[in-house]
Structure 1
């Protein structure tokens, strides 16, 4: 596969289905503000900045859609250039990703990204699209900084990668993978593609591309925001 990423239509499916339980908040974590702006708007902006041609699709639980639209109106100055399609999510991550994929017709490249990773860099986003255009898959990862044990047994840390998002695919590849039944072993979209027989190509990510799920993550997020 040798086509340039620029020859493909590009999409980003932003999946945001959190409840806020681990954040110890009544407000779903994707709506919590950092720097006075909801996390999810920061995430959408990252993809718009990376490439204005990317079509943005946001997958949310049905019960959260009205509240999200209110937030967009409240932060109209920030969100005015972040046009996106809102899609009702499913009961699981698999079903939510599938709902997003079903809204896309034709060939192209799609990046599937956690809504609560607002610090993904432009470089990582563009690298993921480029690699997926060449190989069919591109999954962002970083090396483990810590020693690792599996069931009490030490493993070679150099062989361990911590998986992040975006996870980017040729649309025909990931749509074919999602035709298979959902399994409990599907922890992310890459695991769905791998189970369908597709090779997963890892690309270097960024340690600042954190997933905000706990109060400690929120503190770190405020620090990262001040750096930018």
Structure 2
């Protein structure tokens, strides 16, 4: 058994997609979005336990439509029912790793343009810093606005747009989830920050965006095609 756990959060409904199907099951280059996300991890040359958190009503769909696409891979898919919020869903996934797991990498199922190099960079960093998130520099000027009027302009050099994967010592992120009593959280790194612990930021990837709206599918397809030709 490996010391690494991978948790793919795929229980969200994605209402902004305006589709009847979960965004993670939409077609992207002939395969579901979630397929591409999982495949990148399976192609990462390390051993790990894999927990995939799904909406309870979509577990059978996953078994019938996505698992058969991975018959050539020798890994056990641990399918876990999600909760009412992302925080609850991730917490369910964290509880289902074996005692051998020391570090967990958490990634959004709807970020299929992830590269193996970013997974590796995140894993190497968490072994040194215990809590890690990916982040990209903000290109636009960011202002705080109240009642439609600009109140303050933030210093762009100190801002990062946060992505997944995020990685943690397993006992640390479990403690952070237990400590945080609200149902919703911005991300898992913010829960660790609530404990007063530092989260190290590694450079993310501008192509590693989250598919949120129908307009995201076309650029995602272009990016995946380019990555497959590298």
Separation (CA, whole Å) in 2 of partners of 1:185 and 1:44: 25
Deviation at 1:20, TM superposition (A): 3.9
| Of 49-58 and 113-122, the range deviating more from structure 2 | 49-58
Separation (CA, whole Å) in 1 of partners of 2:71 and 2:15: 26
2:95 maps to what in 1?
A: 102
Report Cα offsets for 1:140-196 as digits up to 9, x if no partner: 000001111122221111111000001100112111111214326621100111111
Preserved CA contact (<8 Å) 2:133 2:164: yes
Preserved CA contact (<8 Å) 1:108 1:171: yes
Preserved CA contact (<8 Å) 2:51 2:93: yes
Determine whether 1:41 maps to 2:35: yes
1:17 maps to what in 2?
A: 11
Deviation at 1:109, TM superposition (A): 0.9
1:163 maps to what in 2?
A: 162
Separation (CA, whole Å) in 2 of partners of 1:77 and 1:185: 33
Separation (CA, whole Å) in 2 of partners of 1:121 and 1:179: 31
Structure 2 regions of 5+ residues with no counterpart?
none
Q: CA RMSD in A?
A: 1.6
Q: Matched residue pairs, number?
A: 219
Report Cα offsets for 1:73-102 as digits up to 9, x if no partner: 5xx344541641100001011101110010
Question: Counterpart of 2:220 in 1: which secondary structure?
Answer: helix
For the structure 1 residues 77 and 104, does the alpha-carbon distance in structure 2 shift closer, same or farther, using more than 3 Å as the test? closer
Report Cα offsets for 1:59-86 as digits up to 9, x if no partner: 011011111112125xx34454164110
Question: Counterpart of 1:211 in 2: which secondary structure?
Answer: coil
- Give the alignment of 1:21-170 within 5 angstroms: 21-72=15-66, 76-78=68-70, 80-81=72-73, 83-106=76-99, 107-151=101-145, 152=150, 153-170=152-169
TM-score normalized by the length of structure 1: 0.91
Separation (CA, whole Å) in 2 of partners of 1:184 and 1:78: 34
Separation (CA, whole Å) in 1 of partners of 2:185 and 2:14: 22
For the structure 1 residues 123 and 11, does the alpha-carbon distance in structure 2 shift closer, same or farther, using more than 3 Å as the test? same
Separation (CA, whole Å) in 2 of partners of 1:104 and 1:222: 33
Structure 1 regions of 5+ residues with no counterpart?
1-7
Separation (CA, whole Å) in 2 of partners of 1:177 and 1:102: 13
Preserved CA contact (<8 Å) 1:131 1:138: yes
Runs of 4+ in 1 over 3 A off after TM superposition: 77-80
